[in-house]
């Protein structure tokens, strides 16, 4: 599945993207609120992303991971994705991460809003959620700007750099989305 936004193009990842992904995952600030952890080498990155690259071959597909590229220059700027439950709960969970030189330009919000549209309009979801470490203020802002609601806190759920960190849970429900879009 290929996706466009105003400034960005999203293409499902393949093994050809591994160097860009390894570079992204090796940046301290990108990993700060992430449970993946800094990879020791590119082989570790390969194993981390294997389920996400191979998910394209599964039918039905439950994991979609896209590289984010600037339309204007074709430059790789990050990754985003959605994991869907494929059951009667019809839940999707989104994530996004960008290279720091591209932070603060509204790209993550642009991506998140588009993923919410795709989730409800094309993937037939009922609920889309996102978790976010309680001190990840930039991500909190992205989720709020995307129309999601903070539901509560999972206590000490994220293993990050040797500590258990609290996570907010955000969501948007299909009725709220449809009301907003006046469908
Ligand atoms: C979180 C992340 C994706 C945000 O990307 P981005 O493209 O910079 O996000 P946007 O530009 O769309 O929005 C960022 C918002 O955070 C705000 N912000 C920045 N620093 C902030 C801070 N310290 N406190 C509060 N808000 C802050 C910005 O002002 C902006 O809001 P505004 O448009 O109302 O001014 C990016 O920082 C990143 O990749 N972080 C590492 C990976 C990560 O944490 N991913 C999320 C996992 S839940």
Question: What mean pLDDT is predicted for residues 103-122?
Answer: 98
* Atom in ligand 1 nearest the alpha carbon of residue 139: 1
Q: Write the pLDDT tens digit of every residue in 8-48.
A: 999 999 999 999 999 999 999 999 999 999 999 999 999 99
93 band by pLDDT with thresholds 50, 70 and 90: very high
Q: Write the pLDDT tens digit of every residue in 132-148.
A: 999 999 999 999 999 99
User: Which residues, other chains included, contact 117 with Cβ-Cβ below 8 Å and sequence gap of 6+?
Assistant: none
Question: What mean pLDDT is predicted for residues 60-72?
Answer: 97
Q: Write the pLDDT tens digit of every residue in 146-168.
A: 999 999 999 999 999 999 999 99
User: Which residues, other chains included, contact 92 with Cβ-Cβ below 8 Å and sequence gap of 6+?
Assistant: 82, 83, 84, 85, 119, 123, 125, 127, 128, 129
Q: Name the residue of 141, 157, 161 to mutate for ligand 1: max ligand atoms within 8 A of Cβ.
A: 141
Per DSSP, 146 falls in state T
In the predicted structure, residue 2 carries a pLDDT above the cut 90: no
Res 180: pLDDT: 81
In this prediction, what percent of the chain has a pLDDT beyond 70?
99
* Atom in ligand 1 nearest the alpha carbon of residue 130: 48
**Domains of the chain by start residue, with CATH:** 3-130 (3.40.630.30)
Which among 159, 155, 181, 177 is positioned nearest to 168, based on CA atoms?
Answer: 155
In the predicted structure, residue 183 carries a pLDDT above the cut 60: no
C-alpha of residue 57 to centroid of ligand 1, in Å:
32
98 lines ligand 1 (CB under 6 A): yes
C-alpha of residue 138 to centroid of ligand 1, in Å:
3
């Amino acid at each position: 599945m290929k996706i466009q936004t105003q400034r960005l193009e999203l293409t499902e990842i393949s093994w050809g993207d591994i160097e860009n992904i390894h570079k992204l995952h090796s940046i301290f600030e990108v990993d700060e609120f992430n449970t993946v952890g800094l990879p020791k080498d590119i082989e570790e990155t390969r194993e981390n992303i294997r389920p996400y690259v191979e998910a394209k071959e599964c039918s039905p597909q439950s994991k979609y991971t896209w590289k984010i590229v600037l339309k204007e220059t074709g430059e790789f700027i990050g990754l985003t994705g959605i994991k869907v439950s494929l059951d009667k709960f019809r839940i999707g969970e989104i994530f996004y991460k960008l290279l720091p030189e591209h932070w603060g330009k509204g790209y993550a919000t642009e991506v998140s809003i588009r993923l919410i549209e795709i989730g409800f309009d094309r993937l037939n979801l009922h609920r889309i959620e996102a978790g976010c470490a309680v001190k990840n203020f930039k991500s909190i802002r992205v989720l709020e700007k995307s129309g999601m609601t903070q539901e509560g806190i999972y206590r000490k759920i994220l293993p990050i750099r040797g500590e258990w960190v609290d996570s907010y849970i955000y969501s948007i429900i299909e009725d709220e989305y449809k009301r907003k879009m006046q469908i």
